[in-house]
Amino acid sequence: MNVPNHIAIILDGNGRWAKAKGMPRSYGHVKGCANLEKICDHIKDVGVKYLTVYAFSTENWKRSKEEVEGLMKLFRSYLKKCMKSAKKNNMRVKIIGDITAFDEDIQQSIIELEEYSKDFDSIYFQIALNYGSRDEIKRAVRKLAKDVENGELKPEEIEESTIESYLDTAGIPDPDLLIRTSGEQRLSNYLLWQLAYTEFYFTDVAWPDFGKKELIEAIEKYNGRDRRYGGVKEDTNV
Ligand code: IPE
Ligand code: IPE
Ligand code: MG
């Protein structure tokens, strides 16, 4: 099986999953968060090198105060637990998104986790927190414009690779496969630049139920795809 080097996942459906069980949305987030711990093990087992998950978007602040506070509480405990998981899986963890919007202690936990795991290299795990692709591009353009203003770079020297190097995902290869759980078929402002040639896989399975079996199913579907990058596929039968 040809295993994708980089999988990106939009973890969706926690709220609906809980509602279907007659439980509050917060219960779905707790179970979704527990599943996030497991997916790193599965990724390692199947041999995927990079995993990037969408856990909280720049738009998710619009949810009720109660839901946002519940999510912050979950992030606090998750970021601490993630240290163990990083060590166990020899996994580097990086947060993408604008973390300055979070409370000081959450920002501190993020810095500690990144620092602690920076030399681990079996898998590379990116968590998108307060992430929005348009916001990422805005921040990148501002930084780039400043460097031009300071004379460090000329406008005609700006290449695609220059833009990439200003994004939160600098140095990380583009995803090969994007998975969105729970039935919606949209990007919701996720990795707009990076997903230019990525294969998309949508499943009705809600995030808390997305396990190893579902991951392998997604990879198998990906294997049947004819990836082209604009060219013509080589005839492999001759
Ligand atoms: C995804 O589940 C988790 C976050 C966005 C934080 P949702 O909370 O979006 O669940 P649904 O889509 O409402 O079911
Ligand atoms: C996308 O899911 C963001 C995350 C999974 C963190 P949403 O549930 O917030 O997206 P929409 O509102 O359905 O587009
Ligand atoms: Mg949703």
Write out pLDDT tens, residues 26-60: 999 999 999 999 999 999 999 999 999 999 999 99
The amino acid sitting at 144 is: L
pLDDT(233) > 80: no
CA of 203 to the centre of ligand 3 (A): 13
CA-56 nearest atom, ligand 1? 6
Q: Give the active site residue among 12, 135, 168, 176.
A: 12
pTM of the predicted model over 0.85: yes
pLDDT of residue 91: 98
DSSP states of 84-135:
HHHHHTTEEEEEES-GGGS-HHHHHHHHHHHHHHTT--SEEEEEEEEE-HHH
**What does the mean pLDDT of the chain come to?**
96
Q: Verify whether residue 121 is a known catalytic residue.
A: no
How far is it, in rounded angstroms, from Cα 70 to Cα 61? Answer: 12
Q: Is 130 left (phi over 0), alpha (psi -120 to 50) or beta?
A: left
Q: Residues 22-29: what's their mean pLDDT? A: 98
With a 6 A CB cut-off, is 11 part of the ligand 1 pocket?
A: yes
